[in-house]
A and B are shown apart, each in its own frame.
Chain A
Amino acid sequence: MSTTLFRTIQPNHFTLLTTALLRTRTKTSRHISVRCQTSTTTQQPRTSAPKNHGSNKLDEILKDYEAVIGIETHVQLSTSTKAFCSCPNSYGSHPNTSICPVCMGLPGALPVLSSKVVDFGVRLGLALNCSLSLKSKFDRKQYFYPDLPKGYQISQFDVPIASGGYVDVDIPLEFGGGHRRFGITRVHMEEDAGKLLHSDAGDYSQAMIVSKLDLVDLNRAGVPLLEIVSEPDMRSGVEAAEYGSEMQRIVRYLGVSNGNMQEGSLRCDVNISIRPIGQAEFGTKVEIKNLNAFSAMSRAIDYEITRQALLYNQGQADKIVTETRLWDEGAQKTVTMRKKEGLADYRYFPEPDLPEVILTQEYVDSIRASLPELPEAKRRRYEAMGLGIQDVLFLANDVSVAEYFDEVIGKGADVKSAANWLMSDIAAYLKNEELSISDVKLTPHELAELIAAIKDETISGKIGKQITDPVEIEKMIMKVISESPKQLEQYRSGKTKLQGFFAGQVMKMSKGKANPALLNKILLEKLNAKE
């Protein structure tokens, strides 16, 4: 094997490129890899969603019952300040260090709307194909809780900024594939509440003590949110998870939010009911909270469908009540959190401290013109370029990967080759090294050149992937040598043909990627070195 490799070497400066490919930009890959981790998380539902023993059970159930699912998504906006005051909007600060009279609800404080919030609201509304309300207003949603400083949340009740839209998604191939369109009822602006922490949860000496039980951290109070309410159009956990993933993609594409479920910048609550197939009326709706990943959403829905169907089958459909259930990740089931006795009365009335939000058509048009290409448009464009749906989904689903890909083909590289490079070698490398695409030192321009060079056979594909770093090769050589003392002695006492043995071992260790010329050069040096 090693001999055939030697024959295809064409010394060329492109081989040096690959050293760059494999060096990381910084040592802080752990910090930067947050994005990579989440991008692989979004892909996990596709590859690792349990095809469990329950799936047959679910299929049986779905012959008799239809699940009706709607999702409420809260998106924390990545603005630099809070919605109604100039406190910094930053995650992870020490408790109560980003507060002021306004977001603390001190007597005499008044809210002042940040224009960025409206900007982001319009952006998201347009991206979700909604009609915008050129005139909308804020309302007070009133209830008492320690994390709600004013005793009301500034939100939008009857005139949200956007309504009546839809989102198009592609169901992953492993779940049957296909296109779906899900309706969006409304998008509105509101402020987030603070956080309650339990007093035994670490050092929170700066948090305020309430009733000896809980501590209040108001850093998050007043952070701007966009709430997206979907039509109850989803019919399965898979569809719901894909809807959620698309919401995440869109907010990241638009740059309005990090869309990070673990950090809480993207929160999804599911409303689910089932009904016998053919029945027009909806069944009793149950709300599910505490979903920290799209995979959890999918499993929670499957569990809930099964739970409700079981009750129906046992003639106990009346045991399904309007309630909020929490997803217990450990036990993999939903559990009752609180029963809703009728609808809560939030005593909404128009916020008297804030004027109406008035948008001009010019303003809306200018935002529309500045929107980036959204995931759906990208997917259709990639499809039109001749890529298979699997490739399309991989490339379009992460905004950074798509950007990289677009740049590579923008430099003229062949579409299929660029796709293959990204999907196999680069993806594998990123996974092994736990990096994100933005850390790769191989620039799109360089990759495009590489592809072009391979295409007109200046270098072979295999060479493009060689290890040519002398330090790395030396490391491998020294390891092989230390593991084969017998052969080393034999070589040094005259059996020089054993060079081939060592070369083969190193080649094996490098999985065939070591540059043969360099390997042999360094190997000879080491073998012939004095003790």
Chain B
Amino acid sequence: MPSTAASRILEHYRPPFDATAVKKIKEMGGIVVGKTNMDEFGMGSTTEASAFQVTANPWDLTRVPGGSSGGSAAAVAARQCMVSLGSDTGGSVRQPASFCGVVGLKPTYGRVSRFGLMAYASSLDVIGCFGSTVADAGMLLHAVSGYDRFDSTSSKQDVPEFDTQFLSMDSFESKPLKGVRVGLIRETLEEGVDSGVRSATQEAASHLEALGCVVTEVSLPSFSLGLPAYYVIASSESSSNLSRYDGVRYGNQVMADELNKLYECSRGQGFGGEVKMRILMGTYALSAGYYDAYYKRAQQVRTLIRKDFKAALDHNDILISPAAPSAAYKIGEKKDDPLAMYAGDIMTVNVNLAGLPAIVLPCGLVEGGPSGLPVGLQMIGAAFDEEKLLKVGHIFEQTLKGSGFVPPTLPNVA
């Protein structure tokens, strides 16, 4: 199948092998319906950076579906498929899940093989799952998880049977989540978060309490350091990972008589603006004299962030926060303000830096669009504890009042 990473430089590229995750799906009888749109090479939060088209949010066709895996989220939201795969480097599965009112599941780093995932940032990338319910997303995750000898960073940890723990609501006790300790991350409800998102999150916390959880506030002091650390690490690693797109062996080549011209023209014409910007940032951050000040320092900050999360998760079963500071915004609204767009990743990047699993599920609606816009709740778990996240998520979802989250563009699906 064509695999372009939504980039002109791979416009006609067809890989000669399947990603391990896809291979596993096929082996289990899964039907690959098609490929979805995304921000070019995973760089973006709206799918507007795709070289080919912009994807519209099924809840309001004038709004973005989120990104970078916006196409995969929208496809599930619009019920074009049952489940879909995406990649999550800084929130690229969780944020679109929130914007599109579907479930987005980010596994622990190493849980799913990266072999066949076109690399963006090697130490942050994971393959994530979308579904219209927690159970669907969980089943897909189980199918693609496991150690792969072709990925040296994949984990040998056992994969529990988390595809079979989704009990029906009838079997729930009155307080099915009794004793589950939930930590609400204080720093995620401060300034810059929409009031609608804030109240949806508080309501979600109350819902969890009603189910028997003990919800307390936790603080992650290093929280605000995550965004700059993420952008330094991600741009640096991606500037290196994208060096292979040089027009020599595959992809679009602009013929030239001189080598440097070949590189300049193939890459210059093949890459979009956002990609070029990040490659430049990353190259700068790794260059002689700057490595210590940027990349090395960002990795040190990363250690602090990991420590804070570990400390919080030693005293809580899960942590919760909004998935994004707002609901879906209008197409074109943030296109010319990259920093404002980056700021939207604040809720999600720390989880990638710490390598932890997280799930986003719709928890409410805010004003906007024909029928309101969905808002997602993010639940973060300890490393390799997807089982717990899925359990809590499933019970939360099943007990939430309302008719489920179905976009108005679809006929009434009861």
Interface residues of A in 108-128 (CB under 8 A from B): 108-113
Segment of A138-146, A253-261, A419-427 in the binding face? A138-146
Tell me if A51 is interfacial: C-beta within 8 Å of chain B: no
- How far apart sit A345 and B291, CA to CA, in the bound complex (Å)? 11
* Dominant secondary structure of chain B at its interface with chain A: loop
Question: Is A149 interfacial (CB 8 A cutoff)?
Answer: yes
* Chain B contacts for A347, CB-based, 8 A: 240, 283, 286-288, 291
Q: Are A101 and B152 in contact (CB under 8 A)?
A: no
Question: Which B residues between 259 and 286 are near A, CB-CB below 8 angstroms?
Answer: 259, 261-263, 283, 286
| Cβ-defined contact, A108 with B119, below 8 A | yes
Contact mask for chain B residues 107-131; partner A; CB cutoff 8 A; 1 contact, 0 none: 0000000111111001100000000
- Whether A108 pairs with B118 at a CB distance below 8 angstroms is yes
CB of A150 within 8 A of CB of B286, answer no
Which residues of chain A come closer than 8 Å to B295, judged between CB atoms?
349
Q: Are B115 and A106 in contact (CB under 8 A)?
A: no
In the bound complex, how far is the Cα of B286 from the Cα of A140, in angstroms?
11
- Complex interface: chain B residues within 8 A of A140 (CB): 240
In whole Å, how far is A77's beta carbon from the nearest beta carbon of chain B? 19
The count of chain A contact residues (Cβ–Cβ below 8 Å) is: 35
Q: Is the CB of A353 within 8 A of B153?
A: yes
List, in ascending order, chain B residues with CB within 8 A of A107's CB.
3, 5, 10, 13, 15, 118-119, 244-245
Question: A280 — which chain B residues lie within 8 A by C-beta?
Answer: none
Query: Does the CB pair B149–A151 fall under 8 Å?
Result: no
Question: Cβ of A179: which chain B residues have Cβ within 8 Å of it?
Answer: none
Contacts A112-B149, A144-B243; A106 near B119 (Cβ below 8 A): no
CA distance A140 to B257 in the complex (A): 29
Smallest Cβ-Cβ distance to A355: which chain B residue: B152
User: Which of A110, A216, A343, A352 is within 8 Å of B150, CB to CB?
Assistant: A110
Give min CB distance, B89 to chain A, whole Å: 12
B115–A345 touching, CB < 8 Å: no
Q: A108-B15, A109-B115 are in contact. Are A142 and B259 (CB under 8 A)?
A: no
Bound Cα distance from A152 to B119, whole angstroms: 14
- A146 lies within 8 A of B118 (CB): no
Are A211 and B118 also in contact (CB < 8 A) when A144-B246, A151-B240 are?
A: no
16 contacting pairs across A/B (C-beta < 8 A): A101-B17, A104-B249, A106-B15, A107-B15, A108-B116, A110-B151, A144-B263, A150-B243, A151-B240, A211-B256, A211-B257, A211-B258, A211-B261, A345-B287, A349-B286, A352-B123
Given contacts A108-B19, A343-B288, 5 further A-B contacts (CB under 8 A): A105-B244, A110-B151, A208-B249, A216-B248, A349-B295
A residues within 8 Å of B by Cβ?
101, 104-113, 140, 142, 144, 146, 149-152, 208, 210-213, 216, 218, 343, 345, 347-349, 352-355
Q: Which residues of B contact A (CB under 8 A)?
A: 3, 5, 10, 13, 15-17, 19, 114-119, 122-123, 149-153, 236-237, 240, 243-246, 248-250, 255-259, 261-263, 283, 286-288, 291, 295
